[in-house]
């Protein structure tokens, strides 16, 4: 393959189980391709239930020693891991663009963003604290301690091949829990490179394992195995629901980061240029393939045409191409299925009266490239109103009043992110409070960082990642009643 890394040992084509690099039991392999070229990058083992079971058993065996380490000692390992990720940032970015397709500039940004979770949670490890309570009895004292929940399993998506992993494994390891990870089939190499660096940083064998392979079989083992105390998943709502159902039998603690259908509202008092810039960043980042991407753009009547015109002019400047090439701002979509979904949304909108302002078709580059698209006169009966497009399509809805747009924005089972642009302080408070979502961006299209809690309400999921709250998902409370004083 053409990929040249400064450190070629970062590209591993084996699973990492209990500190060993290994193939699938039967030797079966899965191909990994570059979505920009269709070229095969290599393979990974097609592992299943048996290998996953071994990784879980190894995690359980490694758990006592890892939890017994002081928080400071665990933090030192995580600090080293963070530093190694940053030292190898360029190689990791190249790997990411090759297997995922996003422009190199975005991959570099994600490596730094991904590392920040390891750094942050290493620091948070030292701040895990319990409490003492006012006792109702004179001869007894009441204490609450926080303990690591135990063996954790993680299933992650392809759209952020590093950050979606580090925001799970960072807090797990910091809390004193081991983790078995199943990365997405299309982006396993970033996950395996993280494992190489974790080993170099001193993460003991078994504390972090990576199994690549058959989602259904690995997922079934992770959810049914009683040793796994917690499952953390980022992906589609449908798979999240299935994993939740499967986990019911063993009552696992769950963290779920599921789909979104983010509204992006432009009020008539907005700074329109800033709103266009925000919409561009929120909609077209990663070719529209993030769960916090603007999915429905609501523009108030008085500024509708003006906003549409400015957005179309900005979209015309996007450069579509292989993310590895300089200056490219939009790479390919992850696969053919993703392109078909965008095509379906475009066709449905146009058939129901949408007005095509830009793009609308597959890109001349072929493969899974799609033109940045803008459609005006979009209405609530179109597919884009209810389904996440996960592609570079900006649908412009029109609205008149604040009450109307809040109702429209909330008319979805999802509640992950929402955005709006306004300069009226009263309106800002009313709308921010009125939107049913876990995160709200006001006058900004970019909200994610390791310091703030990321997560959704309604069917967008359970739990929060990042922030000082993110570690709680990996801890359980123990109440100790100390008597006989
Ligand atoms: P997307 O459609 O964006 O790929 P998915 O929810 O299908 O989203 O994928 C997210 C992650 O879930 C991936 O790692 C994928 O392999 C995994 N996955 C998909 N189906 C299952 C399943 N039945 N059991 C466990 N994991 C699954």
Tens of pLDDT, residues 97-125: 999 999 999 999 999 999 999 999 999 99
Pocket test for ligand 1, best of 159, 181, 239, 288 (most atoms within 8 A of CB): 239
Q: Virtual CA dihedral for 198, 202, 203, 206, nearest 10 degrees? A: 110
* Residue whose CA lies nearest to ligand 1 atom number 2: 236
What average pLDDT does the segment 25-48 reach? 97
309 flagged as catalytic = no
Confidence (pLDDT) at 65? 98
* Ligand 1 pocket member 341 (CB < 6 A): no
Cross-strand bridge partners of residue 61: none
Pocket test for ligand 1, best of 100, 153, 155, 190 (most atoms within 8 A of CB): 155
Question: Rounded distance, CA 451 to CA 47, Å?
Answer: 35
Question: Rounded distance, CA 344 to CA 150, Å?
Answer: 44
ipTM of the complex: 0.98
Closest by CA position to 289, among listed 98, 42, 106? 106
Give the distance (Å) from ligand 1 centre to CA of residue 185. Answer: 9
What average pLDDT does the segment 353-368 reach? 97
What average pLDDT does the segment 77-89 reach? 98
Sign, CA dihedral 370-376-380-381, equals negative
Vertex 53: Cα angle to 47 and 58 (nearest 5): 110
Question: Rounded distance, CA 72 to CA 78, Å?
Answer: 10
Contact assessment for residue 173 and residue 119, using Cβ atoms and an 8 Å cutoff: no
* Ligand 1 pocket member 260 (CB < 6 A): no
Give the distance (Å) from ligand 1 centre to CA of residue 184. Answer: 7
Confidence (pLDDT) at 320? 98
Closest by CA position to 455, among listed 404, 415, 413, 428? 415
Q: Strand 179-182 relative to strand 151-155: parallel, antiparallel, unpaired?
A: parallel
Given a cut of 90, whether residue 3 has pLDDT beyond it is no
Tallying the residues shown for the chain, one arrives at 485
Given a cut of 60, whether residue 24 has pLDDT beyond it is yes
| β-sheet with 262-266: strand ranges across | 355-358, 373-378, 393-399, 294-300, 262-266, 417-421, 439-442
Give the distance (Å) from ligand 1 centre to CA of residue 369. Answer: 22
* Ligand 1 pocket member 216 (CB < 6 A): yes
Given a cut of 80, whether residue 403 has pLDDT beyond it is yes
* Ligand 1 pocket member 215 (CB < 6 A): yes
Given a cut of 70, whether residue 1 has pLDDT beyond it is no
Question: Cα 139 to the chain's mean position, in Å?
Answer: 49
* Ligand 1 pocket member 235 (CB < 6 A): yes
Atom of ligand 1 nearest to the CA of 183: 14
Give the distance (Å) from ligand 1 centre to CA of residue 58. Answer: 24
Maximal CA-CA distance, the chain: 79
**Would you call 433 exposed, middle or buried from its count of C-beta atoms within 10 A (0-12, 13-18, 19+)?**
exposed
* Ligand 1 pocket member 438 (CB < 6 A): no
Pocket test for ligand 1, best of 234, 235, 337 (most atoms within 8 A of CB): 235
Contact assessment for residue 156 and residue 183, using Cβ atoms and an 8 Å cutoff: yes
pLDDT band of 453, cuts 50, 70, 90: very high
Q: Tokens standing for 196?
A: 């190489």
Hey, is 33 helix, strand or coil?
strand
pLDDT band of 61, cuts 50, 70, 90: very high
- Average of per-residue pLDDT values in the chain: 97
Ramachandran region, residue 256 (left: φ > 0; alpha: ψ -120 to 50; beta: rest): beta
How much of the chain is helix, strand and coil, in % rounded to 5?
Answer: 40, 20, 35
Question: Rounded distance, CA 49 to CA 120, Å?
Answer: 33
Contact assessment for residue 474 and residue 63, using Cβ atoms and an 8 Å cutoff: no
Question: Rounded distance, CA 416 to CA 440, Å?
Answer: 9
- Could you tell me which residues come within 8 angstroms of residue 158 by beta carbon, excluding any fewer than 6 positions away? 100, 183, 184, 185, 186, 187, 334
* Residue whose CA lies nearest to ligand 1 atom number 14: 184
Confidence (pLDDT) at 330? 97
**Would you call 34 exposed, middle or buried from its count of C-beta atoms within 10 A (0-12, 13-18, 19+)?**
buried
Atom of ligand 1 nearest to the CA of 242: 23
pTM score of the predicted model: 0.98
* Ligand 1 pocket member 242 (CB < 6 A): yes
Contact assessment for residue 110 and residue 446, using Cβ atoms and an 8 Å cutoff: no
* Ligand 1 pocket member 25 (CB < 6 A): no
* Residue whose CA lies nearest to ligand 1 atom number 13: 184
463 C-beta neighbours (distance < 10 Å), count:
21
* Ligand 1 pocket member 77 (CB < 6 A): no
* Ligand 1 pocket member 360 (CB < 6 A): no
- Which backbone phi and psi does 24 adopt, to 5 degrees? -70, 150
Question: Rounded distance, CA 91 to CA 84, Å?
Answer: 11
Hey, is 314 helix, strand or coil?
helix
Question: Rounded distance, CA 383 to CA 399, Å?
Answer: 18
Question: Rounded distance, CA 463 to CA 253, Å?
Answer: 10
- Could you tell me which residues come within 8 angstroms of residue 383 by beta carbon, excluding any fewer than 6 positions away? 344, 345, 348, 349
Given a cut of 80, whether residue 151 has pLDDT beyond it is yes
Cross-strand bridge partners of residue 418: 440
- Could you tell me which residues come within 8 angstroms of residue 109 by beta carbon, excluding any fewer than 6 positions away? none
Catalytic option among 51, 99, 110, 257: 257
Give the distance (Å) from ligand 1 centre to CA of residue 110. Answer: 21
């Amino acid at each position: 393959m053409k990929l040249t890394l400064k450190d070629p040992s970062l590209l591993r084509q084996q699973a990492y189980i209990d500190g060993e690099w290994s193939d699938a039991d039967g030797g079966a392999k899965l191909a990994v391709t570059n979505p920009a070229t269709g070229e095969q990058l290599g393979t990974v083992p097609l592992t299943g239930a048996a290998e996953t079971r071994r990784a879980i058993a190894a995690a359980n065996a490694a758990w006592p020693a890892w939890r017994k380490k002081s928080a400071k000692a665990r933090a030192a390992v995580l600090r080293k891991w963070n530093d190694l990720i940053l030292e190898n940032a360029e190689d990791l970015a190249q790997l990411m663009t090759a297997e995922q397709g996003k422009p190199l500039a975005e991959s570099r940004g994600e490596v730094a963003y991904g590392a920040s979770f390891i750094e942050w949670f290493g620091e948070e490890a030292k701040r895990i604290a319990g409490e003492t309570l006012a006792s109702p009895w004179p001869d007894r004292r009441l204490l609450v301690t926080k303990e690591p929940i135990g063996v954790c399993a993680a299933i992650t998506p392809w759209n952020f091949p590093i950050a979606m992993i580090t925001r799970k494994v960072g807090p797990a390891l910091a809390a004193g829990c081991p983790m078995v990870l199943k990365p997405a089939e299309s982006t396993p190499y970033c996950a395996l490179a993280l494992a190489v660096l974790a080993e170099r940083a001193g993460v003991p064998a078994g504390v972090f394992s990576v199994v690549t392979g058959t989602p259904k079989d690995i997922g079934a083992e992770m959810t049914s195995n009683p040793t796994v105390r917690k499952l953390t998943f980022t992906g589609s709502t449908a798979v999240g629901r299935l994993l939740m159902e499967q986990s019911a039998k063993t009552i696992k603690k769950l963290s779920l980061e599921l789909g979104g259908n983010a509204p992006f509202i432009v009020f008539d008092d907005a700074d329109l240029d800033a709103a266009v810039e925000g919409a561009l960043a929120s909609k077209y980042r990663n070719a529209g393939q993030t769960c916090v991407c603007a999915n429905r753009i609501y523009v108030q009547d008085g500024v509708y045409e003006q906003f549409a015109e400015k957005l179309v002019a900005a979209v015309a400047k996007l450069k579509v191409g292989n993310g590895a090439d300089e200056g490219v701002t939009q790479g390919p979509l992850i696969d053919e299925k993703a392109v078909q979904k965008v095509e379906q949304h475009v066709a449905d909108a146009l058939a129901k009266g949408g007005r095509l302002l830009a793009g609308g078709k597959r890109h001349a580059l072929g493969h899974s490239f799609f033109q940045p698209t803008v459609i005006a006169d979009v209405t609530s009966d179109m597919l884009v109103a209810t389904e996440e497009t996960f592609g570079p399509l900006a649908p412009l809805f029109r609205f008149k009043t604040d009450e109307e747009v809040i109702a429209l924005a909330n008319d979805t089972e999802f509640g992950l992110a929402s955005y709006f642009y306004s300069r009226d302080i009263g309106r800002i408070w009313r709308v921010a409070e009125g939107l049913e979502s876990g995160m709200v961006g006001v006058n900004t299209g970019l909200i994610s960082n390791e310091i703030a809690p990321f997560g959704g309400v309604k069917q967008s999921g359970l739990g929060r990642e990042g922030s000082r709250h993110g570690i709680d998902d990996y801890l359980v409370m123990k109440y100790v009643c100390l008597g006989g004083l």
